[in-house]
Structure 1
């Protein structure tokens, strides 16, 4: 249970809740018999979207709206917190065929809505309970904060997903930083007992020899500054103190299975072979897309939208135990 505090100060109402903001979710307060200094408090379970006396929340954030006393206040979540299609239905009940909810973790500079706009509905249509989050937001730009801190955010989100779904474990699918960062959660924050499978799409497991910088469309209009402070970028440089710590315990930890999906045309996490994890075949499968579909031109940023990648992710998640089937052959769908 978390405490929500709605503070009304005419003519401006500032609503603040503790938790993770459910994307696209409207919050409607009860009629507020408020004066200029009235504060209304309510409690509810943010992980399940429970109704509190004064509203419905599944998250955190501060939202401002004009309000008069004795008014009903309706506010919408900020647009940057929009969920991808099919994700964050907190009433979803896992099926016997797909008992593990799937958590999608975006990459550096990416929001969940952009990064998972195609894979999320694909997995939802397969019958999975799908969840996604934004994390590591600094200066209004997602997934740029210290990666160890972001792993702690992921830890709390996994706990909420498990509580809401009733599942014992979850599967994680991540892109770029989002495919590597969960390894810190598994190895250093107790996540190995809560995760069955980790699937990394172009993950920065051993860092990159290049530079990670945002494209213009990845910089919010509110900042307009491409010279953003990005500790996550520094953390993903090959040989960084963070990666040295991460990999000091080996590439794998006991418990989860691992699947890595890479493209030889990756221009961000280079060389692309650095994405692979070392371990026995019953624990990890490393896949190069072009080994299966030689004509597939997919690069780093768009890899989560590749129909071939969708099939490979589905195969990895569909295993009763262990990583993706190394013998699986996807249908090579022409792109472009």
Structure 2
């Protein structure tokens, strides 16, 4: 895991170049691109952790497909979601004590926004963990699966803003946390940056979100959303515009094994006006990000305002080395 706090754009290191842009101008550059791609796959997946990551991704994708219909049916039966709220007297003493020790964190609702042609069932495990950590309101929102083909990210962001306003009114709070997976992270980011959502969103966590686009979008139907997801699109260019005074904290989690964000580094969030922590994973697939133990730990720490154990240990080691 590589944790980087970013307040301004940075150049990618050689280790972060991942899969290069597929625009060779000669046979030699085509061969170089192919070789780099093969080398990348070998480095990322041709090791024990990489093979394990591939196996977990395939297994979780199969499980998720089996519960996908329930994510749609559940919305009709329980619009607030299975973890819309809970009573603290049902929690074990240890979990109840964590809730009491972080009243502000537990009182802030958490809104989960799924990715393209998906639904809130992708967050079943993460929602359960957040509930156990003492978060009183954890709610998943479903937007239309047809958004990818007939929708618009800007319109989806406006709808998200309306949902946040309703959530704040019902919970009696001024701020929420938002966790967005894939396209959901980009919808939430547009709401925060361009529609005044930083007034409502305390922390925005993005998991495998194509902040700088993905070449995979070129393979999708040529409708509005796929065009918006292409690198250099008008929407992504709009998101690079100044956002002075943005009050939202960002955690952007990306993986070198993400099979849907090409190149993988495009899931990093870099903007001079945003408070961003980028976290790079090595062997976690796109779908498995919502269940990976390390990612779940990062998310819970981000929402509580604490730093992950590894980050604190690294800082202590650095202080010890400087003192020596």
Q: TM-score, with normalisation over the residues of structure 1?
A: 0.60
Residue number among 165, 175, 178 corresponding to 2:171 in the alignment: 165
- Residue 156 of structure 1: how far off its partner (Å): 0.6
In structure 1, C-alpha distance between the alignment counterparts of 2:250 and 2:277, rounded to whole Å: 7
Query: Equivalent residue of 1:159, what SS?
Result: helix
For these two proteins, the number of residue pairs brought into alignment is: 229
In structure 2, C-alpha distance between the alignment counterparts of 1:153 and 1:144, rounded to whole Å: 15
Query: Equivalent residue of 2:188, what SS?
Result: helix
- Residue 234 of structure 1: how far off its partner (Å): 2.3
Paired residues for 1:157-196 under 5 Å: 157-196=163-202
| Structure 2 contact 208–286 (Cα < 8 Å) conserved | yes
Q: Which position in structure 2 is the counterpart of 1:151?
A: 157
Q: Which position in structure 2 is the counterpart of 1:305?
A: 291
- Residue 204 of structure 1: how far off its partner (Å): 1.2
| Structure 1 contact 85–120 (Cα < 8 Å) conserved | no
Greater share of helix: 2
Q: Which position in structure 2 is the counterpart of 1:277?
A: 269
- Residue 137 of structure 1: how far off its partner (Å): 4.0
- Of the structure 1 ranges 297-306 and 162-171, higher mean CA displacement relative to structure 2 is found in 297-306
Q: Which position in structure 1 is the counterpart of 2:84?
A: 88
1:235 aligns with 2:228: yes
Deviation per residue, 1:81-129 (Å, 9 max, x gap): 366974334999994442311110101111012x111111111111112
User: CA 1:205–1:175 in structure 2 vs 1: closer, same or farther (change >3 Å)?
Assistant: same
1:122 aligns with 2:164: no
Larger Rg: 1
Residue number among 287, 291, 316 corresponding to 2:279 in the alignment: 287
- Residue 231 of structure 1: how far off its partner (Å): 3.1
Q: Which runs of 5+ in 2 are unaligned?
A: 1-70, 89-98, 315-324
| Structure 1 contact 110–143 (Cα < 8 Å) conserved | no
In structure 1, C-alpha distance between the alignment counterparts of 2:178 and 2:139, rounded to whole Å: 10
- Residue 233 of structure 1: how far off its partner (Å): 2.3
1:103 aligns with 2:87: no
- Residue 325 of structure 1: how far off its partner (Å): 8.4
1:79 aligns with 2:73: yes
In structure 2, C-alpha distance between the alignment counterparts of 1:142 and 1:315, rounded to whole Å: 31
Deviation per residue, 1:111-169 (Å, 9 max, x gap): 012x111111111111112011011442xx77962111100110011001101111110
- Residue 232 of structure 1: how far off its partner (Å): 2.2
Q: Which position in structure 2 is the counterpart of 1:259?
A: 251
In structure 1, C-alpha distance between the alignment counterparts of 2:148 and 2:123, rounded to whole Å: 14
Paired residues for 1:2-21 under 5 Å: none
In structure 2, C-alpha distance between the alignment counterparts of 1:174 and 1:262, rounded to whole Å: 12
| Structure 1 contact 144–230 (Cα < 8 Å) conserved | yes
Query: Equivalent residue of 2:278, what SS?
Result: strand
- Of the structure 1 ranges 165-174 and 275-284, higher mean CA displacement relative to structure 2 is found in 275-284
Q: Which position in structure 2 is the counterpart of 1:112?
A: 120
Q: Which runs of 5+ in 1 are unaligned?
A: 1-76, 214-226, 291-296, 331-336
User: CA 1:91–1:190 in structure 2 vs 1: closer, same or farther (change >3 Å)?
Assistant: farther
In structure 2, C-alpha distance between the alignment counterparts of 1:164 and 1:90, rounded to whole Å: 14
In structure 2, C-alpha distance between the alignment counterparts of 1:229 and 1:282, rounded to whole Å: 31
Residue number among 139, 150, 156 corresponding to 1:131 in the alignment: 139
- Residue 211 of structure 1: how far off its partner (Å): 3.1
User: CA 1:81–1:143 in structure 2 vs 1: closer, same or farther (change >3 Å)?
Assistant: farther
